[in-house]
Structure 1
Amino acid sequence: MTTDTPRPSHIDTSKAHPARIYDWLLGGKDNYLVDEAVGEKLPPEARDAARQNRQFMHRAAAWAAAQGIDQFLDIGTGIPTEPNLHQIVQQLTPAAKVVYTDNDPIVLRHAQALLISRPEGKTDYIEADVRQPDAILERARGVLDFDRPITLSLIALMHFIPDEQDAHGIVRNLVATLPSGSCLVLSHAASDLYPELAERVTAEYAKGGIRLGFRTRSEVARFFDGLELVDPGLVTAPEWFTTPPAPAPEGSGIYAAVARIP
């Protein structure tokens, strides 16, 4: 079952957007010259990071579904690249419900791909910004039951929210709405693993009008305060896995973790 696709708002092609740059890094075609211009100036490791993020999402979502969680709130969805989150979880739990959220209207244009749910399940799409949590939660409550466990997915999103916009408070408030047994899936660019690369990436995004707030391991760990980290804890994206086979070892500038809400 799916919901009706809302009308997309105006797409500003004069400014680069994180979702479209991410699409370019993954080899997608749903981006514009302004996004490509930023992507081409990024080091090759940025493409590796995008791939690692995506693969971590697949493993973490599958883990959550295997734990019996059948509700997912994915904020910062990005342009659909199959398999999407609902395809991963509905393979294990056909009746799973997934609410996607992003603030780029171009994502909404591709919402049809996001909304093709299995008949037993349901998907929905919200055009909103993570800095508008009340709007997201109000709409999500129309699909998800907040009295039962929910997986909150924040993949490569919070490093676009600088400290002065209270990134940690946003996550804390979102988590506070979730019942016991829910979980938080989060990946985040590191400022301390490869500092020179981090500075270069930050500078190139800034030239495109996009502010980044990469963080240290301890700063990323704060997003999980009060939660119960799932093994292997807070590690780099390729290091996070729960069942064999293990991903191939490789360097990564991305921290990743999954935590249960007690």
Structure 2
Amino acid sequence: MTDEHAPRGIDFDKPNAARVYDYLIGGKLNYAIDRMFAEQILAVRPESRDLALLNRRWLRRAVRFGAEQGIRQFLDIGSGMPTVGHVHEVVQAIDATAHVVYVDNEPVAVAHSEIVLKGNDNAEMVQADAEIPADVLEHPTTERLLDFDRPLMVIMAAFIHFVPDSRDPAGLVAAYRDVLAPGSYLALSSGTFEGQGEEVRRAAEMYQKSGTEVVARSKAELAALLDGFELVPPGIVFTPQWRPDDPAEVGAHPELASQLALVARKV
């Protein structure tokens, strides 16, 4: 995408994490500043493209699991760019009446999601700051598409590691948990330093210097965010280890995925 065709409100002075991620998974909804930064990350961690794709594959398995448990409502927090195999495509292939609300504050993600979702009455994008739950939960689109008296799945894929401890990630997760009906699910993935080499820390430092805070968390730190939830087996594991479609996909070193993932059920 060329910069002259950018929607209004784009900050070209620094890369955007959602657009960098889009570039890494082969998308076209990114700009020169994002591509330049992504190439710098790739120079430090050449596997970064593969790691981003592993996270997307986990997300698809997680939402398919939710649909198989009877969930027909999905709230995707920090959903990012509309890519192939987005949540609504996965769940509506199982049940065309399933409802999906995407949430992001990145103008490119919002604009293109609206294009992708045009004509889909059961899936819409909400432009809001997900760290202000009331702006998400009380949005007219959310209130119209989601019934919080019935179970739903909240998705936080590669989102919580952008919420530093100073902004109370446990409180943020709890704010969404408190509105959920029992039997609802949380699907969450996060960057981690567990089992990682120095290049992962260097990549995280590059994000910090670019103006994007990144907090890699351990299994114990992620578990501490799950008050009121019970983990679904296999618990907190690296993304390729979470219910792979084929055990061969896990590989000899799943820790190289650099992201932990989980699904938990509200009790």
> TM-score, normalization: structure 1?
0.91
**Gap regions ≥5 residues in structure 2:** 1-6
Q: Which residue of 1 aligns with 2:198?
A: 196
Q: Aligned letter for 2:40?
A: K
Inter-CA distance 234–113: structure 2 relative to 1 (3 Å threshold): farther
Aligned equivalents of 2:170, 2:119: Cα separation in 1: 32
1:101-250 to structure 2, matched below 5 A, reads 101-116=103-118, 122-139=122-139, 140-241=142-243, 244-246=245-247, 247-249=249-251, 250=254
Contact 2:114 2:125 in 1 (8 A): no
Aligned equivalents of 1:133, 1:44: Cα separation in 2: 36
Aligned equivalents of 1:254, 1:172: Cα separation in 2: 22
Deviation of 1:56 after TM superposition, in Å, equals 0.3
Deviation of 1:9 after TM superposition, in Å, equals 5.2
Contact 2:114 2:124 in 1 (8 A): no
Q: What is the DSSP-based 3-state SS (H/G/I as helix, E as strand, rest coil) of the residue aligned with 1:223?
A: coil
CA RMSD in angstroms, aligned pairs only: 1.6
* Identical aligned residues as a percent: 38
Deviation of 1:112 after TM superposition, in Å, equals 3.1
Q: 1:259 aligns with which of 250, 253, 264?
A: 264
> TM-score, normalization: structure 2?
0.89
Cα deviations across residues 83-141 of structure 1 (Å, max 9, x unaligned)? 110000011111100000011001112023542565xx601111112211110001112
Answering whether residue 31 of structure 2 is matched by residue 32 of structure 1, we say yes
Contact 1:155 1:188 in 2 (8 A): yes
Inter-CA distance 117–147: structure 2 relative to 1 (3 Å threshold): farther
Contact 1:86 1:117 in 2 (8 A): no
Q: What is the DSSP-based 3-state SS (H/G/I as helix, E as strand, rest coil) of the residue aligned with 2:101?
A: strand
Aligned equivalents of 1:138, 1:155: Cα separation in 2: 22
Contact 1:23 1:79 in 2 (8 A): yes
Inter-CA distance 15–47: structure 2 relative to 1 (3 Å threshold): same
Q: Which residue of 1 aligns with 2:65?
A: 63
Count of residues in correspondence between the two structures? 252
Deviation of 1:36 after TM superposition, in Å, equals 1.3
Contact 1:189 1:253 in 2 (8 A): yes
Aligned equivalents of 1:127, 1:48: Cα separation in 2: 29
Contact 1:80 1:113 in 2 (8 A): no
Aligned equivalents of 2:146, 2:195: Cα separation in 1: 37
Q: What is the DSSP-based 3-state SS (H/G/I as helix, E as strand, rest coil) of the residue aligned with 2:108?
A: helix
Cα deviations across residues 8-33 of structure 1 (Å, max 9, x unaligned)? 75222222111101001112121111
Aligned equivalents of 1:91, 1:110: Cα separation in 2: 21
Deviation of 1:209 after TM superposition, in Å, equals 1.5
Answering whether residue 83 of structure 2 is matched by residue 84 of structure 1, we say no
